[in-house]
Amino acid sequence: MTTTLITGANKGLGLETARRLLEAGHTVYAGMRDLGSGDAATDLGAIPVELDVTDDASVAAAFAALPALDVLVNNAGIAGTSSGVDDLDVAAMESVLQTNLVGVVRVTQAALPLLRRSANPVVVNVASGLGVPRFLQDPARVESHVLAVPYTAAKAGVITLTVQYAKNLPGMRVNVCDPGYTATDLNGHNGHQTVTEGTDAAVRLALLGPDGPTGELHDRHGRIAF
């Protein structure tokens, strides 16, 4: 049995990823800051786990409750409060980086002892096309219209740290995905993709075998060149 932990799994992309991996036969632990928001995950058959990616004690307690771990999906993230440089300050930057970037490191580091015991350890980080500089500069892409700094910087960081984790952990499959512009709470449900379409890449990467790629960025259509 494959044991999977997904952060931010009480709604949106995380919840849909949980649903699809449960269908694939995984035992899924659904990480969330507030267990009171876990009814949807419980209804699917996932096991809710209190997990705040910004809090060391919360993360440690969550992993202490896991019997094993084969797949980690770092999905938790926030949009932040800043939409451009005029409303940008250090507090806004720090808040997004702590959740979307530092949180990935905090959770992954805590997961490593369990992942190292797995026969097929897999890490999937959820980034965004907003973390790809050439997308931000291409007027033909929706990402180019976004002016926000914290979210884009954090997701660029997630892509880079994925490459570095993959180099440091050659026995694991460590990849990162771009869900695409998906309708979720994060964007006021303005995305043109469904959550199922938005989780295609994450699910595919979560199901990789030991001979699968590592250190790569994928969207639902396949690999994206950095």
Domains and CATH numbers, the chain: 3-224 (3.40.50.720)
Summarised one tens digit per residue, pLDDT across range 10-58 is 999 999 999 999 999 999 999 999 999 999 999 999 999 999 999 999 9
Whole-structure pTM value: 0.95
pLDDT at residue 188 greater than cutoff 70: no
| pLDDT (0 to 100) of residue 152 | 98
pLDDT band at 186; cut points 50, 70, 90? low
29 is catalytic: no
Cα–Cα distance list, 17 to 3, 83, 155, 176 (Å): 14, 28, 19, 14
Residue 214 CA to chain centroid, in angstroms? 16
pLDDT band at 187; cut points 50, 70, 90? low
CB atoms within 10 A of CB 30: 29
Region 137-162: mean pLDDT is 97
| pLDDT (0 to 100) of residue 193 | 72
| pLDDT (0 to 100) of residue 190 | 62
Residue 167 CA to chain centroid, in angstroms? 19
DSSP H helices, the chain, are 12-23, 39-44, 56-64, 90-97, 103-115, 133-136, 150-168, 195-198, 200-206
**Tokens 């699917």, residue?**
44
Region 181-210: mean pLDDT is 81
| pLDDT (0 to 100) of residue 182 | 65
Q: Which of 29, 151, 165, 181 is catalytic?
A: 151
Q: State whether residue 102 is helix, strand or coil.
A: helix
| pLDDT (0 to 100) of residue 149 | 98
* Mean confidence (pLDDT) of the chain: 95
